Amino acid sequence: MTHQAVLLMAYGSPDSLDQVEAYYTDIRRGSPPPPHLLEELKDRYRAIGGGSPLSRIVEGQRAALEAELIARGTPMRVYAAMRHIAPWIGDVVKTMAADGVERIVAIPLAPQKSSNAAGYRRAVDAGLAGLANAPEVVFVESWHDTPRFIEALATTTREALDRFADPSRVTVMFSAHSLPARVVAEGDPYPDELLATATLVALKLGLDDYTFSFQSAGRTGEPWLGPDILDEIRRLAADGVTEMVVRPVGFVADHLEVLYDIDIEAQAVAREVGIHLERARSMNTDPVFIAGLADVALAALGSAATA
């Protein structure tokens, strides 16, 4: 029997301030950031406690998924790796090969397919290049509409809505990380898949009205996908909205883009314009979400076995 294993891959985030410069430089493909941008990013990490919890959350997701697969009677090892910080994807896939893994199901912890997510595949391929015993890789391109993922998003959104006296009066705003606007012209499926995820959650909740925004745009000088979340909060306030739930659909763990960009920056704008904003909690190790990841892994391996 083929020795199979799962690889969960995340973008990565620094655990402490002394890792920020190397992390930022890696994101910039080896170009060190200008001092003012580096200090600005460090200030954001200081504001959420001096580092990101992403690495330990992904480790928790890895362990939870491994336990879920055992509980289903399909035990296999689950590994976790990062794209821009240790443990590096290239190093982890080499370890998997050395451990005797013959087939890897590689799952980016980014549910929607995008040109940006293609970097995960490149990192896997680079790590395995030249290995005599390179495993077969079953790469999951997208899992944006997986039923249990949608269920977990809907349940956590309902939890947030229930914090209000009259949930039916609350506006739900779905959000995701922006990308350069040129990706649309290049035919990137990312915006369409994001809207599909949001629509499925809205249908499950029976929402008549909801909105979508992008957040965390890069500082590259080119246009990025919009509307921007801060502008959209201001627009909704001008239209009379006073209560709002933000439900990120492109992120599955707490990290800077959630803990700072929403919980601090967006909250500040909401307070400024008189909106009571609640954020739906992140997936992290939510059991329904983890069960959805197990569904994704087993479906991918099943497809590979019958191919």
- The whole-model pTM stands at 0.96
How far is 150 from 17, CA to CA, in rounded Å? 34
What's the pLDDT at 115?
A: 86
Dump pLDDT digits (tens) for 82-117: 999 999 999 999 999 999 999 999 999 999 999 877
**Please, what's the b/e burial string for 110-136 (b: 16 or more CB within 10 A of its CB; e: otherwise)?**
bbbbbebbebbbebbeebbeeeeebbe
Residue 279 has pLDDT above 60, yes or no: yes
Residues 157-183 have a mean pLDDT of 96
- Classified as helix, coil or strand, 105 is strand
Task: List Cα–Cα distances, 121 to 126, 178, 200, 274, in angstroms.
Answer: 9, 20, 27, 44
Asked if the model's pLDDT at residue 1 lies above 60, the reply is no
Q: Which domains are present in the chain?
A: 4-143+286-306 (3.40.50.1400), 147-279 (3.40.50.1400)
Does position 200 have pLDDT exceeding 70, yes or no? yes
Residue 234 CA to residue 275 CA, distance in Å, equals: 9
Q: How confident is the model at residue 307 (pLDDT cuts 50, 70, 90)?
A: very low
pLDDT over 80 at 306, yes or no: no
pLDDT digits (tens, 9 = 90+) for 34-70: 999 999 999 999 999 999 999 999 999 999 999 999 9
Q: What is the pLDDT of residue 33?
A: 94
User: What is the pLDDT, as a whole number, of residue 219?
Assistant: 82
Q: What is the DSSP string of 13-60?
A: --SSGGGHHHHHHHHTTTPPPPHHHHHHHHHHHHHTTSS-SHHHHHHH
Identify the three-state secondary structure at position 144: coil
The residue assigned the tokens 């290995």 is: 131
Measured distance CA(48)–CA(264) in Å, rounded: 9
The average confidence (pLDDT) of the chain is 95
Question: How many angstroms separate the CA atoms of 170 and 157, rounded?
Answer: 11
More confident residue, 304 or 82: 82
| Listed residue (244, 225, 222) closest to 233, CA to CA | 244
pLDDT tens for each residue of 245-276: 999 999 999 999 999 999 999 999 999 999 99
pLDDT at 26 over 80: yes
Nearest alpha carbon to residue 275 among 285, 289, 262, 256: 262
pLDDT of residue 133: 87
Band of pLDDT at residue 220, cut at 50, 70 and 90: confident
Q: Which two tokens stand for residue 16?
A: 């402490």
- With a cut of 50, say whether residue 167 has pLDDT above it: yes
pLDDT at 194: 98
Of the pLDDT bands very low, low, confident and very high (cuts 50, 70, 90), residue 202 is very high
